[in-house]
Structure 1
Amino acid sequence: MNKAITDGILFMPPAFADGLSVWSSGDGTPGSDTYAGAPNAAVVTADPDFGSCLELQKTQSVQKLRFMGETPLLPGCYLQIRARVKAVSGALPSVRIAGWAGAGGGAHVGGVVEVGPTVVLASYGEVVEVAAIVGPGARGGVDMPWGTRAIYGHFGLDLTGQNGGAVRIDAIEIEDVTGIFLGDMIGRVDVRDFGAAGDGSTDDTAAFLAADAATQGRTLFVPKGDYFLADSVTIEAPVVFEGTVSMPADKMLLLTRSFDLPAYADAFGNEELAFRKAFQALLNNVDHESLDLGGRKITVTGPIDMAAAVPNKASYATRRVIRNGQFVAAESPAWETEVVTSRASYGSGDARRLTNVENVANVPVGALVTGNGVGREVYVQARNVGAGEITLSAPLYGAAASQVYTFHGFRYLLDFSGFERLNQLSISNVEFQCGGICSGIRLAPAGQTFSLRDCFISRPMDRGLSSIGAGCQGMLIDRCQFLSAEEPLDVEYRKTIALNANANDVKLRHNRATKFKHFAVLGGTDSIVIGNHFFQGDGVNNGVRTAGLIMIGTYKGATITGNYVDNCSIEWTNEHDRDPVFTSGFSFSAMSVTGNIFLTSAAAPWFSQIVVKPYGAGHFLNGLTVSGNVFRSLSGRIQRGERVDDTFAGLNFARTRDVVFADNTYHNVEKRTASPLRLRHNQGTAAAQWTVDTDGELPFGGRARAVDAVVAIGELRNGQGATRFLAPHAGLEKGAGQERITLAWGEAVRGEVSVVVRVDL
């Protein structure tokens, strides 16, 4: 590369023989003194070494010689200035190449090196060559790096040392030597060529932008060094980092052609910081919809505040994806749970608000709330310090008007709770290795369609994924693995929950969770839970089992299909109702549990795989389908597959409606629950009224509220053995538990009948 050849640019000054009026004894700037007519300068025409040359006597401490023409300095171009010099008489001086750096408008560029290496003239008549290279970048071999402000120079040489000596100077030669650096420059543009200092303090923003603008299809190259960028920088070209950059937290590095975590890790030299900056870029129009972690393992020393990483965005609603990598929590005090206790008032006004909260400023947003009358997975969604109020993710079912609450601020690898709203964020093929010292992901307080797909959340300390508000609206969790850190503990001592949700339209599909206290706690309505395997057993014979799936809310509109419910149960509660006593509405309704495998081993006999737990009186079943499931117990029998937990209240079986409990399979389960329930009753002694006992096989021990059919099996006979053809009428809800029916005949008969009894109307 030579600009004199490729672009026809003239770098070479004229010969001295052409006149000394263009040669200055000053800086070479317009108006400076020239050597024309000077008593200490003359052109010699027949020097035996040089031919025509300049003889110059040193009369000043620094005797300057500068060409007054403006030699152009181009981006990426390097010039070598050379001269041959010999001493002819008097004191022997030293000589060096020198120049004056000029900017636009004739301004001087200060603060740059304007002299080359000094050479001592040791004897008379000895020809010595002095040379120096000038250019924009501080490359090896560049004597005068002038950056990009200098657009031209006045070049020549200096004589230093004692005065009185005379020297002869061959022509000053200036040539393009950019080719010397081509080994570093072929196919790429070096930021040093545009003035980047790489010293960690000089602002190299302009140099990076200028270098990127000059790439024209080539790769941008950032050599070794620490490059400080005081402002945001967008790099449109592919970029290679050997050095690193640093910049303020609110400034962005947008690598539009090299947008992946490995590139940002090279740029910042720290993978955790690199991830923050890459996520910042992802949400700031980097022209990419996804951030590829490149299969990298990111060691994390403390919670990553995702909102703080993007301080210019309070919310975001465009689809973005984080994929293909691993986050690993490293031991650090930053993971310690923050625990705050505070007295607060509840009950007046908003059901999701605590008022008069003491030390409200110390209560962390996103903290789990515990206390009397607080249901499971209730979080601090927002905090108003001025008003002394806290907004909760769900109402409380039985809190006192004033009481003490405890707030647990868990620490998460990725914490999105600082956003006001976050829509359409997807994380796929990422492993969260919590190592038993932190939790996995905390969602924003509001948002839609967060997606977690093909991910592992391994060994979380407290929670795998937490929703502290409505940021789980339409959440999709697909083909993920949740692996507990509490596997060695018996179920009753575990505290970790894989995930929770508060909002509607959540889909959990084809996930696997092992040995948590609970797999999922789902509030909201219209959830779809399909094809999951959640396992929570332990080795204790006749041991307790906890709920794997907790459905909170009376009207659910939920489908639970094709799951492997392994040594745990499905529990349906209304613990997030401010007034859990039924007064109006549909009560426990709109749930479908179909085609699941319920397997239990070595559980206590009273354990059941489907549990309804009302937190207030008056509730009833009003739309429940349980069909096509397998209920199986190994290493011991259980009494029934379903039951009511009446710790707080039972169900009102007088209002049961639209309950289908059919086509299920039972192994080692004493009560083969069904509704419609088909029974055979054999009346051995003739009687006008028969009592038919459902024997506890109606769902949840409910009442016999309807009879769909009564069919005689064989002949009915009276006391004398005569065949009788009679039709009975049925009496419902008989017996102490109202679980029996009676059949009244026109006369006393005996025989066997098939009866279909329902728990509902």
Structure 2
Amino acid sequence: MNKAITEGLQLMPPAFAGGLDVWSSGDGTPGSDTYDSAANAVFVAADADFGGCLEMQKTENIQKLRFMGQTPVTPGCYLQIKVRIKAMSGALPAVRAAGWAAQSNGSHISGVTGFAPHVALSTYGEVVEVTGIVGSGSRGGVDMPWGRNAAYGHFGLDLTGANGGVVRIDDIEITDITSAFLRDLLSVVDVTDYGAVGNGSFDCAAAFEAADAAADGRRILVPAGEYYLGSTVSLNHEAVFEGTVEMPASAMLLLTKNYNFPAYAAAFGDEELGFKKAFQALINNSDHESLDLMGRKITVTGPIDMAGAVPNKSSYATRRVIRNGQLEAADSSAWDTDVVTSQATYSASDSKKLTNVSNIANIAVGSLVEGAGVGREIYVKSKNTGAGELTLSGALYDAEGTQNFTFRDFKYLVDFSGFSSLSKFGLQDIEFQCNGRCSAVRLSPAGSVTSIDSCFISRPKDRGITSIGTGCQGILVDNCQFLSDEDPLDVSQRVSIGLNVNNNDAKLRSNRATRFRHFAILGGSNNTVTGNHFFQGDSVPNGVRTAGLVLTSNNCTSTVSDNYVDNCFIEWTNERDPTPDYTGGFSFSALSINANVFLSGDVAPWFSYIVVKPYGSGHFLNGVSVTGNKFRSTNGSIDRAERVDTSFAGLDFSRSKNVVVTGNMYHNVTAQSANPLRVSHDQSSASSSWTVDSGGELPFQGYARFVDSVAAQGALRTGGNSIRYTTPYADVLQGANQDQIRLRWQEAVKGEVLVLMRMDS
């Protein structure tokens, strides 16, 4: 680069032969004294070394020689002043290249260096070459860095040292040597050319933005050094970082042209900090809708407080995505779970509050709550320290009064719980490599439509994805792998959970989960769970199994279809009901379990694939569809595919409504349930009262409440084998378990009938 060529700038001052009236003995500014007709200066037409030259006697302590023309200085352009000089007689002075810096309005730029190092003349008649370099940036080899405000200079030389000596000076040369500072074939704008100083303390924000403004399509180079940026900087050109930047937490670096994680990691010289600052930019209009990690692995030494990375925002509701990379937990004590035990009071009348909480200051928002009468996956959503109150993510089923509660604050690779609300946020194609040290993702306490797509939740210590409030509203979890850290443990020893949801409209689709205690605990309604494979077995003969999917809302209005439920079961409860006894409403209602594959092996005979567990009395089934499923047990039979867990209470089967169990396939399952249930009954001896047993095959061992039809299979005969054409009536709810009917005939008959009975109205 040579601006004298590319832009036609006039850099060379005129030869002394043209006259000394343009050569000042002062700073070179208009009106300053010149050497024209001066007593101590004369033009020498012929010199053995120089040809034409200026002969000058030093009469001032600093004898100045300045060209009065305005030699332009532009950012990114570096000029060399070259002086060839020799001592002729008298005292031997020293010489240095020098200049006077001016802004565009002609005013002097104070505080900048106006000369190069001096060189002492030591021998008469010896030609000495003295140079000095001037430019906007403080770069290595630049003697006079004048900053980006410099517009032009008056250049020449200074004689210093003893007075009285006579010297001769060849014509002064000024040339563009910018190419000495640029890499071959690299079109860049260097921030140091615009005043940036990489000393870690000088505020370079204005210099960075000035370089960006001048880039005009070129890349911006941040050379080696540490550059402090005291305020937000937005760069609209691609930036290349050889050095690093440092800035306050509240200040943002917006790399709009090359917005990606590697650029931020290079900019800040630290992966974790670079990730935080890149996320900060994403939430503050980086001109991109997603942060691309570009396949990079980020080693994380402690929980990343995502809200803390964006101190200027407490909520956000515009679509943003982080994608394509890996976060890996390094060995660190920062992942240790904080455990606090506190006394608190609970009242079902304010079902999501704990009051009079002792030691509340030490209880973290987002902590898991444990205690008597507390259901699974109840978290601290918020706290009011002054009032001593905690707001919970769900109600407690039997904790009335005052007791001690335990609060466990798990640590997460990425933690969004510091936001008050976060909506339309996505995580895509990310592996959360927890290494058994931490959990993966904690959602914000409020918000909607979080999307987690094609991610790996690998070896979480405690939890994969945690919702501490309603930030899971409408959550989409698709195509993800949940890989347990507890794979080698027996089922009874596992404690980790893949994910939980507290609010409505969750979509879990095409995921795979291995050997957690539970794959998913869904606390809301209107859920869709489809196409997933979750398995939780072990090698223990007659082993116990835990629920893979837990539905904690009795009126769940959910669909569970096309899943592979492997060595675990679906559990349906009302454990978040503050008054768990039935007092009104729809009770256990609106659940469809369709076209799933259920498989188990080496399990106890009482194991079942669908379990209803009422936490209070009086509940009943009210709209349940179990159709088209495949139930198969290997290495031993099981008693039935569905059952009621009566640990707290049973179901009221006298109120069952709209229960459809049909079209299912059973292999090694003793009781093959259906509703309506078709039973073949063969009466070998004539009787006017036939007892027809359901054989325990009404779903959940319900009551035989209705008979849809009775069809004779062949002739009905009397004891004497005379054929009779007769129709019975049915008595329902017969037997000790009310699962039998009695057919009453006009007279004693025998024969075979098909009975279609049902448990529901």
1:699 aligns with 2:680: no
Q: CA deviation at 1:36?
A: 4.9
SS at match of 1:214: helix
The 2-side partners of 1:270 and 1:182 are apart by: 27
Q: Which residue of structure 2 aligns with residue 262 of structure 1?
A: 262
1:580–1:615 CA contact under 8 A, matched in 2: yes
Q: Deviations over 1:31-84 (max 9, x none)?
A: 655445554333334433334332222234433323344322112111111111
SS at match of 1:470: coil
2:348–2:400 CA contact under 8 A, matched in 1: no
Q: Which residue of structure 2 aligns with residue 307 of structure 1?
A: 307
Q: CA deviation at 1:426?
A: 1.3
Q: Which residue of structure 1 aligns with residue 339 of structure 2?
A: 339
1:623-638 aligned within 5 A = 623-638=623-638
Query: Which deviates more, 163-172 or 46-55?
Result: 46-55
1:219–1:238 CA contact under 8 A, matched in 2: yes
Q: Deviations over 1:215-244 (max 9, x none)?
A: 112222222221211111111112222222
1:157 aligns with 2:157: yes
Aligned amino acid, residue 41 of structure 1 = A
SS at match of 1:447: coil
Q: Which residue of structure 1 aligns with residue 518 of structure 2?
A: 518
Q: Deviations over 1:688-726 (max 9, x none)?
A: 111111121111111011111111111111122211111
Q: CA deviation at 1:254?
A: 1.1
1:116 aligns with 2:116: yes
Rate the CA distance shift 1:386–1:107 in 2: closer, same or farther, 3 A.
farther
SS at match of 2:492: helix
The percentage of aligned residue pairs carrying the same residue is 62
Q: Which residue of structure 2 aligns with residue 194 of structure 1?
A: 194
Query: Which deviates more, 274-283 or 455-464?
Result: 274-283
Rate the CA distance shift 1:353–1:610 in 2: closer, same or farther, 3 A.
same
Q: Which residue of structure 2 aligns with residue 233 of structure 1?
A: 233
Q: CA deviation at 1:120?
A: 2.5
Q: Which residue of structure 1 aligns with residue 684 of structure 2?
A: 684
Q: Which residue of structure 2 aligns with residue 401 of structure 1?
A: 401
1:220 aligns with 2:246: no
Q: CA deviation at 1:325?
A: 0.5
1:711 aligns with 2:707: no
2:289–2:320 CA contact under 8 A, matched in 1: yes
SS at match of 2:472: strand
The 2-side partners of 1:517 and 1:760 are apart by: 34
Q: CA deviation at 1:523?
A: 1.1
CA RMSD of the aligned region, Å? 1.7
Q: Which residue of structure 1 aligns with residue 749 of structure 2?
A: 749
Q: Which residue of structure 1 aligns with residue 469 of structure 2?
A: 469
Q: Which residue of structure 1 aligns with residue 294 of structure 2?
A: 294
SS at match of 1:211: helix
Q: Which residue of structure 2 aligns with residue 652 of structure 1?
A: 652
SS at match of 1:193: helix
Aligned amino acid, residue 173 of structure 2 = E
Q: Which residue of structure 2 aligns with residue 733 of structure 1?
A: 733
SS at match of 1:437: coil
1:399-478 aligned within 5 A = 399-478=399-478
Query: Which deviates more, 95-104 or 334-343?
Result: 95-104
Taking structure 1 as the reference length, the TM-score comes to 0.97
The 2-side partners of 1:280 and 1:479 are apart by: 27
Aligned amino acid, residue 709 of structure 1 = S
1:49-128 aligned within 5 A = 49-103=49-103, 105-128=105-128
2:348–2:578 CA contact under 8 A, matched in 1: no
Q: CA deviation at 1:734?
A: 0.9
Q: CA deviation at 1:410?
A: 0.6
Aligned amino acid, residue 360 of structure 2 = V
Q: Which residue of structure 2 aligns with residue 587 of structure 1?
A: 587
The 2-side partners of 1:637 and 1:208 are apart by: 73
Q: CA deviation at 1:29?
A: 4.3
1:342–1:405 CA contact under 8 A, matched in 2: yes
The 2-side partners of 1:355 and 1:64 are apart by: 84
Q: CA deviation at 1:183?
A: 3.4
The 2-side partners of 1:182 and 1:648 are apart by: 79
Taking structure 2 as the reference length, the TM-score comes to 0.97
The 1-side partners of 2:715 and 2:310 are apart by: 82
The 2-side partners of 1:2 and 1:45 are apart by: 31
Q: Deviations over 1:307-333 (max 9, x none)?
A: 111111211111111111001000111
SS at match of 2:452: strand
The 1-side partners of 2:751 and 2:394 are apart by: 57
Q: Which residue of structure 2 aligns with residue 551 of structure 1?
A: 551
Query: Which deviates more, 47-56 or 30-39?
Result: 30-39
Aligned amino acid, residue 535 of structure 2 = F
Q: CA deviation at 1:200?
A: 1.6
The 2-side partners of 1:592 and 1:420 are apart by: 34
Query: Which deviates more, 59-68 or 564-573?
Result: 59-68
Query: Which deviates more, 427-436 or 338-347?
Result: 338-347
The 1-side partners of 2:271 and 2:233 are apart by: 19
Q: CA deviation at 1:182?
A: 4.6
Q: What 5-or-longer segments of structure 1 have no aligned partner?
A: none
The 2-side partners of 1:388 and 1:69 are apart by: 77
Q: CA deviation at 1:102?
A: 2.8
Q: Which residue of structure 2 aligns with residue 669 of structure 1?
A: 669
1:491–1:537 CA contact under 8 A, matched in 2: yes
The 2-side partners of 1:555 and 1:349 are apart by: 20
The 1-side partners of 2:728 and 2:203 are apart by: 98
1:566-581 aligned within 5 A = 566-581=566-581
Q: Which residue of structure 2 aligns with residue 481 of structure 1?
A: 481
Aligned amino acid, residue 409 of structure 1 = D
Q: CA deviation at 1:17?
A: 4.7
Q: Deviations over 1:97-130 (max 9, x none)?
A: 1223333555443444332233232211112111
1:609 aligns with 2:609: yes
The 1-side partners of 2:18 and 2:51 are apart by: 14
Q: Which residue of structure 2 aligns with residue 144 of structure 1?
A: 144
Q: Which residue of structure 1 aligns with residue 497 of structure 2?
A: 497
Aligned amino acid, residue 533 of structure 1 = H
SS at match of 2:212: helix
1:384 aligns with 2:384: yes
Q: Which residue of structure 2 aligns with residue 207 of structure 1?
A: 207
The 1-side partners of 2:483 and 2:166 are apart by: 87
Q: Deviations over 1:456-496 (max 9, x none)?
A: 00000000000111111111111110000011111111110
The 2-side partners of 1:316 and 1:290 are apart by: 14
The 2-side partners of 1:497 and 1:236 are apart by: 44
1:372–1:400 CA contact under 8 A, matched in 2: no
Aligned amino acid, residue 285 of structure 2 = N
The 1-side partners of 2:417 and 2:386 are apart by: 20
Aligned amino acid, residue 160 of structure 2 = T
Q: Deviations over 1:557-582 (max 9, x none)?
A: 11100111100000000001111111
The 2-side partners of 1:113 and 1:294 are apart by: 45
The 1-side partners of 2:429 and 2:701 are apart by: 46
Q: Deviations over 1:197-216 (max 9, x none)?
A: 12222111111111111111
The 2-side partners of 1:107 and 1:644 are apart by: 91
SS at match of 2:42: strand
Aligned amino acid, residue 163 of structure 1 = N
Q: What 5-or-longer segments of structure 2 have no aligned partner?
A: none
1:345-384 aligned within 5 A = 345-347=345-347, 349-384=349-384
The 1-side partners of 2:712 and 2:101 are apart by: 115
SS at match of 1:472: coil
Query: Which deviates more, 142-151 or 372-381?
Result: 142-151
The 1-side partners of 2:15 and 2:656 are apart by: 111
The 2-side partners of 1:185 and 1:281 are apart by: 31
Query: Which deviates more, 174-183 or 438-447?
Result: 174-183
Rate the CA distance shift 1:650–1:662 in 2: closer, same or farther, 3 A.
same
Rate the CA distance shift 1:235–1:185 in 2: closer, same or farther, 3 A.
farther
Q: Deviations over 1:380-406 (max 9, x none)?
A: 111112222111111111113211111
Q: CA deviation at 1:85?
A: 0.6
Q: Which residue of structure 1 aligns with residue 41 of structure 2?
A: 41
Aligned amino acid, residue 202 of structure 2 = T
1:346–1:354 CA contact under 8 A, matched in 2: yes
